Structure 1
Amino acid sequence: MTDARMKMVLVTPEIPYNTGAIGRTCVALGLELILIKPYGFSLDEKSVRRAGTDYWKHVSLSEYDSWAHFLEARKPARDQMYFFEEHGAQSLYAPQYHPDGYLVFGCESAGLPRSVLDGMDDRVFHLPMISPKVRSLNLANVATAVIYQAMRPQLGG
């Protein structure tokens, strides 16, 4: 693996189990987990720790009070940000992911706010689904699929 480090960004996550499971995946792959407030739970809740099992203490975690604070502090390059929504114009397989990229996901009930996506239409991607019977997938499952696709070059894929 390289020194480059992809980052997982969850904007206003609502379900502690999903955040814990994503944190565990971040530990497994050496990603930083960035959480944007407000949350629908407390990070001290047992359910977050339970989903992350005993790995939660190893999560490289950063927190920001808002999307604006995140942008101000991190100043991510536009071409290093990848937003994931069910309505994304492109498949998650389309981009060549930057090794220092930011993989950005919204909350479970509403996705990413329009204010986050404004002007980023070409940076919004979706996970393809064949059956029209399924409206959406679990956030932790989608995030894991995206992480592994985005990190294929670093993982030898």
Structure 2
Amino acid sequence: MIEPRMKMVLVTPEIPYNTGAIGRTCVALNLELILIKPYGFSLDEKSVRRAGTDYWKHVTLSEYDDWQSFLAARNPPREALYYFEEHGAQSLYAPEYRKDAYLVFGCESAGLPASVIGGQEDRVFHLPMLDRRVRSLNLANVATAVIYQAMRPQLGG
């Protein structure tokens, strides 16, 4: 039997560097990276590979044409979906993350569309920021902070 593992999901990512950096983190932690189209770049771009350095070839990558295709193919349980938005009602420290969690992030300029969250506001989390002058953080940085928090029990934390 295959051990369940967490997955990073990027919905319509726009910046190749962020996707490459998140892919590198996925390799480091043995996670699958799931990308939902459309992208703001080509996966063949040097900038994706540069950010992922020579690790990009080791990324366990799955792609879907849209959110509905992803849901139809994967059929993730509601309790396994964790959405991350700057205005999430709960902190990323609140949940106990499932080992088979899908950690879902939106595009850099607009975040997650309402059609993705779809009435699951209780599943939306944020990364706390103490200074309100900062509107948002870099997607790759937030994704890395989230995954390390989510995996703390598995990483000995």
Counterpart position of 1:103: 103
Whole-angstrom distance in 1 between the partners of 2:42 and 2:3 = 31
> Map of 1:57-136 to 2, 5 A cutoff?
57-136=57-136
In the other structure, the counterpart of 1:46 is 46
SS in 1 for 2:82: strand
1:153 aligns with 2:130: no
Q: Which structure 2 residue ranges, 5 or more long, are not aligned?
A: none
* Partner Cα separation in structure 2 for residue 3 and residue 72 of structure 1: 22
Deviation per CA, 1:9-64: give whole Å up to 9, x if none. Answer: 00000000000000000000000000000000000000000000000000000000
Number of aligned positions between the proteins:
156
Instruction: After superposition, give the CA deviation of every residue in 1:103-148 in whole Å (9 maximum; x if it has no partner).
Output: 0000000000110011110000000000011000000000000000
Give the unaligned 5+ runs of structure 1: none
Structure 1: 4+ residue segments shifted above 4 A: none
What's the C-alpha RMSD, in Å, of the aligned pairs? Answer: 0.8
Identity in percent: 82
TM-score (norm 2): 0.98
Report the Cα offset of residue 150 of structure 1: 0.3
Aligned-pair CA distance for 1:4: 2.3
TM-score normalized with structure 1 length: 0.98
